[in-house]
Amino acid sequence: MVRNLIRLLVVVMSLALLGGCATVIKPIPAQDLNPKLKSGALIQKANDFEVVMDTSASMEDPYQWNHFAYTSPLKTTKLEYEQHLVRLFNDTIPNLKLTAGLRDFAGQRWISRPYDTKLWYGMAPYVKEDFGKSIFEVNTGGVESPLNLAIDAATADFKPLAGKSALVIFSDGLEMPKAPASAQAMKAALQDRVCIYAVLIGPDPTGEGKQLLDQVVKAGQCGFMVTGAQVETAAGMADFVEKIFLGPASAAAAAGIPVTLPPGAAAQLDTIYFDYDKYNVKPEFKDAVKKNADYFKANKAANVLIAGNCDERGTNEYNMALGQRRADSAAKALKAAGVEEKRIKTVSWGEEKPVCKESVEACWSKNRNAMFFVMQP
């Protein structure tokens, strides 16, 4: 409590001396992730996101850091540094169809801030320019740090949405003991639809902030935490953004197996494999089919092309027929997992498009497959 009162006095004095003027931080050119997306090696894995910004009184504390555009360390507040990082985060997001929100949290401050958390953008279709403007509309509040209330509100924001959600928290992690419980409640409500990520803002000499944000992230079970220093460069932020929004298009792509997309395809999803001269979907590939189905259920505008393939043994005619049976079997499994039949098309490539060209079993086993492609609407 004493620390909070001292901090509030410092904030009031700072505002009086500075007249509310903010440091103008030169933006960093963002790294372009669109080529990776266009190559088909990566596909979209998050359909919506919400950035939660810490605007409590502690964010008015001074913070000195190195910025490549300046010859000497830049003196700012933690809030200005936070806004700089969120701007770089926004600039780095590739061309994706997303639903987005930006929310802040801080204690109430008399007439100027009669709320604990406020949605400054969204939830709405993501427009980079509009989202960027909202980053600098947030205002600091009182000494309390009600991250728990912001997480509770974000849970309500995500609930009506059908796709995968990403909660991205920017905060110093100080004095918010109720936040982990709210993160656990979010996970219980949204389950595997949500992942939680965090960026630790400013110095953390006692480790209190890192410990708290670690607990929040672990409650989400599928996110991670980084420090501001790790994402204040274009490359560091690109790595962070890529891990939130993008994932390997397929196990083959992740393993470096070259894949040529058919005309009209935007990406390839997970491939399933068959035994010699068989076309039944094996139990070990049910998870891959479900993962592909989840993608199409979350992306209603996308259709799917399933291509059945064979190894080189057998006649061309036999392999064309076997490839079609494999494609049809995969389509039946995808339909059973919840994808409408009218969105599914099948084709047989027989033995004509092998991913491996050596005449050995190790290659043949890779060529006996059904490939799932995301077709452009």
The tens digit of pLDDT for each residue in 258-310 reads 556 788 777 789 999 999 999 999 999 999 999 999 989 888 888 999 999 99
With a cut of 50, say whether residue 86 has pLDDT above it. Answer: yes
With a cut of 70, say whether residue 193 has pLDDT above it. Answer: yes
Mean pLDDT of the 44-56 span: 93
CATH of domain 251-375: 3.30.1330.60
Please, where in the chain does CATH 3.30.1330.60 lie? 251-375
pLDDT at 257: 54
* Type of residue numbered 299: N
On the 0-12 / 13-18 / 19+ scale of CB atoms within 10 A, 253 is: buried
Mean pLDDT of the 152-171 span: 94
State how far the Cα of 68 lies from the Cα of 98, in Å rounded to an integer.
Answer: 31
Tokens of 105: 């949290």
CATH of domain 26-247: 3.40.50.410
State how far the Cα of 368 lies from the Cα of 279, in Å rounded to an integer.
Answer: 9
On the 0-12 / 13-18 / 19+ scale of CB atoms within 10 A, 32 is: middle
> Among 76-85, 138-147, 236-245, whose mean pLDDT is lowest?
138-147
* pTM across the whole model: 0.70
Please, where in the chain does CATH 3.40.50.410 lie? 26-247
Largest alpha-carbon pair distance within the chain?
85
pLDDT at 142: 79
pLDDT at 23: 56
- C-alpha to C-alpha distances, 131 to 32, 73, 199, 217, 305, nearest whole angstrom: 18, 28, 18, 24, 35
Q: Residue 123, preceding bond cis, omega within 30 degrees?
A: yes
With a cut of 80, say whether residue 19 has pLDDT above it. Answer: no
Across the chain, mean pLDDT equals 88
CA 251 to chain centre: 19
pLDDT at 6: 47
Q: Give all strands (DSSP E) within 222-357, no chain letters.
A: 225-227, 246-248, 265-268, 272-273, 303-309, 344-350
